[in-house]
Amino acid sequence: MERKRQSKIKLAQLHAFIAVAEHNSFSEAALELEVAQSAVSNAIAALESDLGIVLFSRGRYGAELTPAGERVLTHAQQIVHLQGQILKEANLLRGLQGGKVRLTSIRSVATHLLPTIIAQFQRQFPGITVSVIEQFDEQSIEDDLCKGHADIGFTDDLMTDEFETWEFLQDEFVVLLPLSYTEPPFKLGWEHLKSYPLIVATNGFTSDKYAYEHCARFCRSIQPVYQAKSDSTVVNMVAQGLGVAILPRLAAEPIPPNVEVRSLPIPFFRTIRMAIVANRPLSPHAFAFMESLKSSTGCFNSSSLGRAS
């Protein structure tokens, strides 16, 4: 019998019940709901009949909740709140049936991580397209975000307070050695690095500068013999036996089979960050992409692309 009574309750009755409770008046509730007062009275009467209890005591000072009505009110408010959440979620999902997310990223992340991330996202939201601007310096990432050319950026720079950032990945700087070098030691030491010609990337990344400063603290006599702007050029020079290089693992990929990968004697990492412009609202599509990425953080790491000894 109880289940049958519950099945008759309508959301319109609960809205009327809450409005009367808030205003202590049937007439004012009708004004708020933009219906006739008789419609409010009928809704409350039907609700009281369905529940089998009296919700209001009517008197010269208006409609006052009965003790039973006070207890029911809390549950009615929860139901109406959940209805609002359902409508909000439905509106969001309708909006996510189409649209576009614009990303800007340093080359290594765009090449080796974003394709997997985008594929996972589009399995969940097939109607949303994702575009990627591939950049070769950190300042261009900031410019793309500030000028509105991109919604979300991926960089290894600290960035200013103008941006809101989240740590996304720790990418290890590794030593690349040609296999043509005779019997490299099992555990690479600073004294070994001193003896090898060093090939340096001159792409201007802040993280590269910090990595070289880290090495200089322990290996002061290390000096570059060759320089190249492109990471891929540096890797190919190592493959040709011209020297060794110190690069982030992601930037070094794909590593040729005739190049050996070792950790620095004291490891050093760069932090890849996801960034947006602070206090700038994200589109529902970009917000969904960012939340999807946050939930998968930890599934991606540079060491999964290879292993340094």
- Per-residue pLDDT tens digits for 89-110: 776 666 666 788 999 999 999 9
pLDDT of 303 strictly over 50: no
Output helix, strand, coil percentages for the chain, rounded to the nearest 5: 45, 25, 30
- Per-residue pLDDT tens digits for 45-75: 999 998 999 999 987 778 999 999 999 999 9
Looking at residue 5, what is its pLDDT?
47
Looking at residue 241, what is its pLDDT?
92
In contact, 136 and 203? CB cutoff 8 Å: yes
Least confident stretch, 138-152, 215-229, 262-276: 215-229
| Torsion angle of the four alpha carbons 148, 153, 156, 158, in this order, in degrees rounded to the nearest 10 | 50
- Per-residue pLDDT tens digits for 175-189: 999 988 766 666 788
Looking at residue 308, what is its pLDDT?
41
In contact, 84 and 98? CB cutoff 8 Å: no
Strands 244-248 and 163-178: antiparallel
Q: CA 281 to CA 305: how far, in whole Å?
A: 35
Which residue in the block uniquely carries the two structure tokens 């090939």?
199
pLDDT of 240 strictly over 80: yes
Domains and CATH numbers, the chain: 2-95 (1.10.10.10), 100-167+277-301 (3.40.190.10), 169-270 (3.40.190.10)
- Per-residue pLDDT tens digits for 109-127: 999 999 999 999 988 888 8
